[in-house]
């Protein structure tokens, strides 16, 4: 929401000196009313008209705008800001008009500050006084405003007496003031919302008047009557039993009932525990005994300290049983007169604050401190024949804390683990699956009160009552305004008034529940997220409009990824409970119920989330879609850049790897060549060595051969020498040639 100043459009210098008292938008313009001028804002321009006198108020009525000009009367404003006289009759000219409302087809209902109300007929242009059922009330308390709440009903706000609901005939339907829960009695303004309820601007705060509520409050905020424990209607009177005693007042219907007329019944001035109409008499159980009220007279039946619940006996119209501080008491009727008979032996000194018979004649007793018992009385009602202590029954649930209620003649046990039946003969507790199924989500209700056989009142822990209609199966929840009304814990009491209405006692007065009434439409709305704060480095700030993507969508930057969500139920009458979850696609677990109407989430990772919120007063769920953006370095552009860099890096890595492989290949080749060369050198050296060895061997062999040859030569030489020596003498005998020939032979 953005605000734009219009000051620069007002050219009239007098505007700076004026105060704007009323702003009314119409189909094509916005009207601003001061004491002397009416300004119009249309198509980006401001125009004005000066009134012939002091303008008191401006009123929209069925598409027309009326103004009250002091000393002149009532005028209508045209679309061109022209003023046309409507009612200039003497009474109206001299009176301060506080409201103008439609009345019938051609009339206006005009409220004045100190002179009551008038009717003006637009056709006959005649003025007449409007007669209400209490003109003096309006004149004495000064009418300050009014609003039409339906075709024939009006809400009139006063200066000193709160608000009055009135029909078109002037009949007072209800008066609401501080005693009914308003913060104070001065009604500054009234507005009707689209659901037909009224919002009241008061001297102290604001209030909502739920006109279609299924709860009517009759409060005792000044503590006159005290905490209400029981209510009974009897012989044209309402009797209210409280911790201050018994009070009564004439009663014909709720519309005419005036709680200020409640007076104390003199004989009964201390704690009243129960009121029941039995045998056309009103029995009152209170701290000082038991009394019977008939024709406005009180007769004390017993003065024994402490009487609680009382029940008639089926098949014995002349007997009553009663739970007392000292056990079960029996009353009998003799000669048309009820009187105390005896205490039941076996129940002495037992504080029995509640009892009921089932269809089998078993008497169920609730001890004030020690749980529940089921007993069978002797035929003479003087003793207990059989007693069963539920706490010692078979199949007892763990940590059971039972109460009981009666339905269709059967008595059922109930606690937060569900509904059970009890078999008296076998002393066994069993689940009651049919009842459990019928109660659905309310099966764990601790306190259940039967509305005859028509339905069940289910008392919640959150100061509410839910009605289960046994015929339709529907549930109807009555959510009390916890600031005004609270149930009496442990002593909740509900008394039928009509087939559709019931009295409920409370800490400060009582209420009437309308089982056919419609809950205010607000009760069915989902809870609203009223404010969103963003967190950035532990700094909080309300969400900027740039983050809002739609009615239920927000988008957050990465550096502001913390949220504080404020929410509220659209039910202003009670402190409700909430449950929520943040769904990130993997986890959507609902939280436990809590009354805390704020939830904080820190350091949300980038991504999409769904925040879901529900409250106990409605089944509808509020949904908020949250997107946490990626950081700047993880946007689409940067992702593309990162992809390009990755591709480039891969390319460079591949190129570097190839270069490295080539380098390694060359190095390996070089090494291989060097190794080959070295191997070649080694081989050549080995070959050379081998050749040298061979040469050495050849030399040796040749040397040996030479030596042999030399030896042979020496031998031959020696032989030659020998021959020479031998042949020397022969030279003379024969010639050499002959000798050689001979020698060869």
**What CATH number does residue 177 fall under?**
2.40.10
Residues 3, 78: one domain? yes
Residue 531 covered by a domain: yes
Evaluate whether 295 touches 248 at the Cβ level (below 8 Å): no
3-state SS, residue 691: helix
Residues 561, 647: one domain? no
Evaluate whether 293 touches 240 at the Cβ level (below 8 Å): no
CA dist 492 and 485 (Å) reads 13
- Find all residues with CB under 8 Å of 399, minimum gap 6, and list them: none
Pick 524 or 329 by higher pLDDT. Answer: 329
Residue 708 covered by a domain: yes
- The answer on pLDDT for 75 being more than 80 is yes
- The answer on pLDDT for 394 being more than 60 is yes
**E strand residue ranges, 616-715:** 621-628
**Which stretch of DSSP H or E encloses residue 149?**
strand 143-150
Residues 609, 704: one domain? no
Q: Which domain range does residue 615 map to?
A: 524-634
- The answer on pLDDT for 413 being more than 60 is yes
Residues 645, 620: one domain? no
At residue 222, the pLDDT reads 79
Task: Work out the average pLDDT over 91-102.
Answer: 92
At residue 182, the pLDDT reads 86
Evaluate whether 56 touches 69 at the Cβ level (below 8 Å): yes
Average the pLDDT over each of 82-91, 105-114, 130-139 and give the range with the smallest value.
130-139
**E strand residue ranges, 537-649:** 539-542, 548-550, 553-556, 562-568, 578-583, 598-601, 607-615, 621-628
Task: Work out the average pLDDT over 651-673.
Answer: 91
Model pLDDT for residues 502-557, shown as the tens digit of each residue? 999 999 899 999 988 655 444 567 888 888 888 876 666 666 555 565 668 888 88
At residue 545, the pLDDT reads 53
- How would you list the strands of the sheet with 352-357, edge to edge? 352-357, 363-367, 371-377, 384-389
CA dist 60 and 52 (Å) reads 20
Q: Kindly state the DSSP code that residue 491 receives in the 8-state scheme.
A: -
At residue 229, the pLDDT reads 95
- Find all residues with CB under 8 Å of 425, minimum gap 6, and list them: none
Ramachandran bin of 289, using left for φ above 0, alpha for ψ from -120 to 50, beta for the remaining angles: left
pTM (2 decimals)?
0.73
CA dist 455 and 571 (Å) reads 25
Task: Work out the average pLDDT over 3-27.
Answer: 84
Domain boundary among 182, 211, 240: 211
Please report, rounded to a whole number, the percentage of residues in the chain having pLDDT higher than 90.
46
- The answer on pLDDT for 739 being more than 90 is no
Residue 158 covered by a domain: yes
Residue 62 covered by a domain: yes
Residue 335 covered by a domain: no
Which candidate, 652, 586, 579, places its Cα nearest to that of 616? 579
- The answer on pLDDT for 573 being more than 70 is no
- The answer on pLDDT for 269 being more than 50 is yes
Phi, psi at residue 637, to the nearest 5°?
Answer: -65, -45
Pick 143 or 558 by higher pLDDT. Answer: 143
Residues 688, 598: one domain? no
Evaluate whether 164 touches 137 at the Cβ level (below 8 Å): yes
Domain boundary among 186, 211, 236: 211
Residues 55, 135: one domain? no
Q: Total domain count for the chain?
A: 4
Structural tokens at position 424: 């008296």
Please, which pLDDT band fits residue 744 given cuts at 50, 70 and 90? low
At residue 518, the pLDDT reads 58
CA dist 635 and 260 (Å) reads 72
Average the pLDDT over each of 51-55, 125-129, 135-139 and give the range with the smallest value.
135-139
Structural tokens at position 478: 């009555």
At residue 692, the pLDDT reads 84
Evaluate whether 81 touches 74 at the Cβ level (below 8 Å): no
Residue 118 covered by a domain: no
Q: Kindly state the DSSP code that residue 452 receives in the 8-state scheme.
A: T
Residue 225 covered by a domain: no
Evaluate whether 331 touches 319 at the Cβ level (below 8 Å): yes
Residues 528, 630: one domain? yes
Residues 550, 568: one domain? yes
At residue 521, the pLDDT reads 46
Which candidate, 432, 426, 387, places its Cα nearest to that of 414? 432
Model pLDDT for residues 721-733, shown as the tens digit of each residue? 777 777 666 555 5
Pick 538 or 437 by higher pLDDT. Answer: 437
**Average per-residue pLDDT in the chain?**
87
Residue 311 covered by a domain: no
- The answer on pLDDT for 646 being more than 90 is yes
CA dist 586 and 413 (Å) reads 42
**C-alpha distances in Å from residue 587, one per residue of 98, 245, 323, 610, 611:** 58, 57, 54, 11, 11
Structural tokens at position 467: 């009605």
Domain boundary among 181, 211, 241: 211
* DSSP character string of 231-278: EEEETTEEEEEETTEEEEEE-S-TTT--GGG-EE-TT--S-EEEEEEE
- The answer on pLDDT for 463 being more than 90 is no
Residues 608, 641: one domain? no
**Beta strands 553-556; 621-628: pairing state:** parallel
Evaluate whether 35 touches 62 at the Cβ level (below 8 Å): no
Which candidate, 206, 133, 203, places its Cα nearest to that of 175? 133
- Find all residues with CB under 8 Å of 723, minimum gap 6, and list them: 743
Residues 529, 582: one domain? yes
Which candidate, 380, 348, 382, 341, places its Cα nearest to that of 365? 348
Structural tokens at position 16: 């700076």
Which candidate, 563, 559, 561, places its Cα nearest to that of 633? 559
At residue 4, the pLDDT reads 78
At residue 588, the pLDDT reads 81
Q: Residue 569 maps to which CATH number? A: 2.60.40.10
At residue 701, the pLDDT reads 81
Residues 598, 650: one domain? no
CA dist 554 and 431 (Å) reads 49
Residues 141, 203: one domain? yes
At residue 102, the pLDDT reads 94
């Amino acid at each position: 929401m953005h605000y734009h100043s219009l000051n620069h459009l007002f050219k009239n210098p007098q505007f700076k000196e004026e105060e704007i008292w009323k702003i009314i938008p119409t189909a094509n313009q916005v009207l601003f009313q001061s004491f002397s001028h009416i300004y119009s804002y249309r198509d980006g321009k401001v125009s004005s008209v000066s009134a012939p006198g002091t303008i008191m108020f401006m009123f929209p009525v069925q598409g027309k705008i009326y103004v009250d000009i002091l000393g002149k009367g009532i005028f209508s404003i045209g679309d061109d800001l022209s003023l046309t006289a409507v009612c200039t009759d003497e009474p109206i000219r001299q009176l301060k008009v506080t409201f103008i409302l439609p009345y019938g087809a051609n009339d206006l209902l005009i409220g004045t500050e100190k002179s009551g109300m008038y009717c003006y007929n637009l056709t006959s242009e005649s003025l007449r006084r409007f007669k209400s059922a209490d003109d003096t009330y309006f004149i004495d308390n000064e009418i300050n405003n009014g609003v039409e709440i339906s075709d024939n009903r009006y809400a009139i706000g006063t200066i000193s007496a709160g608000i009055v609901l009135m029909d078109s005939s002037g009949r007072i339907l209800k008066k609401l003031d501080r005693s009914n829960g308003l913060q104070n009695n001065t009604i500054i303004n009234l507005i009707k919302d689209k659901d037909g309820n009224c919002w009241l601007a008061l001297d102290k705060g604001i209030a909502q008047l739920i006109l279609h509520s299924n709860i009517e409050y009759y409060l005792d905020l000044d503590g006159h009557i005290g905490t209400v424990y029981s209510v009974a209607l009897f012989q044209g009177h309402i009797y209210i039993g409280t911790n201050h005693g018994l009070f009564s007042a004439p009663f014909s219907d709720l519309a005419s009932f005036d709680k200020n007329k409640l007076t104390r019944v003199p004989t009964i001035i201390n704690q009243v525990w129960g009121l029941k109409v039995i045998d056309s008499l009103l029995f009152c159980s209170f701290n000082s005994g038991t009394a019977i009220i008939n024709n406005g007279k009180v007769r004390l039946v017993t003065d024994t300290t402490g009487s609680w619940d009382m029940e008639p006996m089926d098949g014995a119209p002349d007997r009553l049983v009663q739970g007392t501080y000292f056990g079960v008491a029996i009353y009998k009727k003799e000669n048309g007169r009820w009187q105390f008979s005896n205490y039941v032996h076996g129940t002495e000194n037992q504080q029995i604050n509640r009892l009921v018979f089932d269809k089998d004649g078993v008497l169920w007793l609730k001890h004030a401190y020690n749980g529940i018992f089921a007993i069978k009385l002797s035929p003479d009602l003087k003793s207990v024949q059989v007693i069963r202590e539920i706490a010692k029954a078979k199949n007892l649930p763990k940590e059971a804390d039972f109460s009981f209620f009666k339905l269709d003649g059967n008595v059922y046990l109930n606690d937060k683990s569900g509904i059970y039946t009890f078999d008296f003969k076998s002393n066994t507790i069993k689940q009651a699956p049919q009842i459990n199924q019928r109660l659905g989500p309310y099966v764990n209700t601790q306190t259940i009160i039967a509305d005859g056989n028509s339905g069940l009142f289910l008392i919640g822990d959150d100061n509410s009552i839910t009605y289960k209609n046994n015929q339709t199966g529907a549930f109807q929840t009555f959510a009390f305004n916890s600031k005004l009304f609270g149930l009496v814990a442990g002593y909740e009491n509900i008394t039928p008034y009509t087939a559709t209405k019931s009295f409920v006692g409370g800490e400060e007065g009582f209420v009437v529940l309308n089982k056919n009434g419609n809950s205010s439409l607000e009760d069915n709305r989902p809870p609203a997220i009223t404010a969103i704060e963003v967190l950035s480095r532990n700094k909080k700030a309300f969400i900027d409009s740039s983050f809002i993507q739609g009615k239920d969508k927000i988008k957050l930057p990465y550096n502001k990824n913390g949220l504080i969500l404020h929410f509220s139920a659209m039910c202003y009458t009670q402190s409700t409970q909430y449950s929520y979850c943040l769904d990130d696609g993997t986890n959507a677990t609902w939280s436990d119920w809590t009354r805390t109407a704020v939830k904080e989430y820190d350091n949300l990772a980038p991504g999409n989330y769904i925040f879901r919120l529900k409250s106990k007063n409605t089944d509808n769920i509020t949904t908020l879609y949250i997107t946490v953006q990626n950081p700047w370095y993880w946007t689409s552009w940067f992702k593309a850049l990162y992809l390009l860099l990755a591709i480039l890096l891969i390319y460079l890595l591949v190129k570097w790897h190839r270069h490295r492989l080539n380098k390694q290949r060359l190095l390996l080749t070089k090494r291989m060549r060097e190794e080959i060369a070295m191997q070649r050198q080694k081989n050549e050296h080995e070959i050379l060595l081998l050749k040298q060895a061979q040469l050495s061997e050849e030399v040796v062999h040749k040397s040996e051969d030479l030596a042999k040859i030399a030896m042979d030569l020496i031998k031959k030489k020696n032989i030659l020498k020998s021959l020479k020596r031998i042949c020397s003498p022969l030279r003379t005998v024969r010639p050499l040639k002959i000798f050689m020939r001979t020698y060869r032979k």
